[in-house]
Chains A and B, each alone.
Chain A
Amino acid sequence: MNFWNDPLKIAADWLSGILTGWGMPALAAGVLVAFIGTLLLITLLMVMDIFLVWLERKVVARFQDRLGPNRLGPWGLVQPFADIVKLLIKEDTTPEGADRVVFNLAPMLSMMSVLILWAIVPLAPVILGVDLNVGLLYIVAAGAIGTLSIIMAGWSSNNKFATIGAFRQVAVMVSFEIPMVAMLLIPTIFSKTMGMNGIVQAQNTWFVILSPLGALIFLIAAIAELGRAPFDMAEGESELVSGYNIEYSGMKFGMFYAGELLHALTFGGFWAILFFGGYRFFGLEKVSPFLAVVIFLAKALVGYWVIMWVKYTMMRIRIDHMLAFNWKFLTPLSFVLLMVTALMNVLLAGTGWIYPVGMFLSNILVAWIALEIVRTAGRRQREKLEAPKVAAEAHH
């Protein structure tokens, strides 16, 4: 096995060989090599983050029928570097009366909760941080840390708007975790494992074909978890003066902003892994691990583009509508879908081509019934509201 087939192992062995040659005990050499690997991954992610800032601004510009940054460098590619320099040279303020330690810790925790997600992302069959067999739960756990960082940011700013924004954002995030966890169980049912690599390897047919409604609900719940529009309660510039971001300026705000973009790319990646086959593309991934990485990144960027598309097309939803949408529609629907999927999985087990067709049709059926229920409820509510008006008209 050479470098092009199994890059991580070859590089790690070579490096720890050098270190033990210098006299370091094998255990310490292993730890140091792992540390260097982590550092390398984080560096690559942060470089990708800079690219994402440019991508975001160009894409939003095109959606809004304008050009976007195009002055600095070819196609404005140097723009994010200028942004970073501006953020770095800004004064590092802490508001008076704010809790210093918590205030400064919050952006670090927010960035940390995104970076630790990449430990379980399989970039290629042999390039991944750790093949955790409870990888799906790990995603939810990292989301919990992100939720915590928002509360810390909102509370420690000593500012009423920040606190309200943080509370609303956390209420949305905690509520939408439930349909997300239910939808995370659907790839588990199909692939009989919670480990990310196992889920990708089990996708001989992409899971989006087996469960399109599941992919859709996961996307909606993920967008709510990310705190992006149309669920960006915390960043409502016109409503809450930027929510928990108010008192943060300079690089601390930069960490929140860049962390949010990287989080969106990460969840684009998870959408790709869980429902679109991850690094697999009709056998191309067996050619070389680096090709698999390229395939995965391409799919993750497509997922990220879908998330951006939703953000720049839809308006922000009001907080009580958001929560009602989750508790009254999305959660029951996701539980019903989970039960139907589990049932169909058992009923259709082992029947060749009927399995994907049956799963797909059951999903469409559940979605159609749900929409019919919502339409009936909506029509009834509309009639109730318009009945006095109709009666008033009849009186004339």
Chain B
Amino acid sequence: MTAQQIIFLIVAVVTLGSALMVVISRNLVHAALWLISTLFGVAIIYALLNAGFLAVVQVVVYIGAIAILFIFAVMLTRKDQLEGGLQLNNGWWLGALIALLTFGGLLGMLQSWSGFSKVSADIPAGYDTVNQLGNALTSPAGFVLPFEVASVLLLAALVGAVYLAFNRK
């Protein structure tokens, strides 16, 4: 068991445990906080995958913005009722069944794939992933068009969210 494998196992267990707590937690603010723990675990997984830039962007965008949005939304929509009882709806057993079938189906499909147990090739020393990513995102031969379209999408979302939440008096 190399150190990387031990770290991966710990982080994977924490991530999946936090994800389970997100969907089971009775208190919605606790669920948002467990989501933050899950997102942090995912950021560490990105770091293990040598995608350092993505790991930091995950913390900045997901934990620093999206999770805070969730906490704000939860606090703005409380009815001051005591949130007791399970927060699952009536057909929850069907949802659990479908989730289990999905998991089993994904794994079964992947088992039959030849590259399932591939081991990663080493990254050549001095290979600057961030530099390559920047080039890919801004070069016309790369992905500059999806990048610009994503910016327009974010602008549309910004205008839409402000318009929807605007309190016209």
* A residues apposed to B, CB below 8 Å: 27, 31, 99, 102, 132-134, 137-138, 140-141, 143-145, 147-148, 151-152, 155, 163, 167, 170, 174, 177, 194
Contacts and interface: CB of A to CB of B under 8 A. Distances in A.
B36 A148 contact: yes
Contacts of B11: none
Contact of B57 (A137, A147, A152, A174): A137
A326 B52 CA distance: 30
B128 A144 contact: no
A111 to B, nearest CB: 17
B56 A137 contact: yes
Interface of B: 3, 29-30, 33, 36, 52-53, 56-57, 59-60, 63-65, 67-68, 71-72, 75, 128, 130
Q: Please report whether the interface of chain B is mostly helix, strand, loop or mixed according to DSSP.
A: helix
Contacts of A138: 56
B64 A143 contact: yes
A134 B63 contact: no
B143 to A, nearest CB: 19
Contact of A163 (B64, B67, B75): B75
A155 B64 contact: no
Contact of B33 (A102, A132, A147, A177): A102
Q: Please report whether the interface of chain A is mostly helix, strand, loop or mixed according to DSSP.
A: helix
A305 B156 CA distance: 43
A233 B36 CA distance: 25
A155 B68 contact: no
A148 B67 contact: yes
List 8 A-B pairs, minimum CB-CB distance, nearest first. Answer: A144-B64, A141-B59, A137-B56, A141-B60, A140-B60, A134-B56, A141-B56, A134-B53
27 contacts: A132-B52, A133-B52, A133-B130, A134-B52, A140-B56, A141-B59, A141-B63, A141-B64, A144-B60, A144-B65, A145-B59, A145-B63, A145-B64, A147-B64, A147-B68, A148-B36, A148-B68, A151-B68, A152-B33, A155-B71, A163-B75, A167-B72, A167-B75, A170-B68, A174-B64, A174-B65, A174-B68
B44 to A, nearest CB: 12
A144 B63 contact: yes
A396 B34 CA distance: 69
A133 B128 contact: yes
Nearest to B43: A141
B71 A151 contact: yes
Given A134-B56, A167-B75, A177-B64, 9 more contacts: A132-B52, A133-B128, A144-B64, A145-B59, A145-B64, A148-B36, A148-B64, A174-B65, A194-B130
A155 B33 CA distance: 12
B120 to A, nearest CB: 19
A57 B166 CA distance: 44
Best-buried of B36, B52, B56, B57 by chain A (most CB within 10 Å): B56
B46 to A, nearest CB: 12
B40 to A, nearest CB: 9
A170 B67 CA distance: 12
A328 to B, nearest CB: 15
A4 to B, nearest CB: 30
Contacts of A152: 33
Contacts of A170: 68
Contacts of B33: 102, 152
A141 B53 CA distance: 11
Contacts of A144: 59-60, 63-65
A317 B57 CA distance: 31
Contacts of B68: 147-148, 151, 170, 174
Given A133-B52, A144-B60, A155 B130 contact: no
A148 B63 CA distance: 8
A27 B72 CA distance: 44
A283 B36 CA distance: 45
A102 B75 CA distance: 15
B60 A155 contact: no
Given A152-B33, A155-B29, A163-B75, A137 B60 contact: yes
A349 B104 CA distance: 58
Contacts of B3: 27, 31
A318 B59 CA distance: 30
Contacts of A147: 64, 68
A18 B53 CA distance: 36
A147 B62 CA distance: 13
A134 B130 CA distance: 8
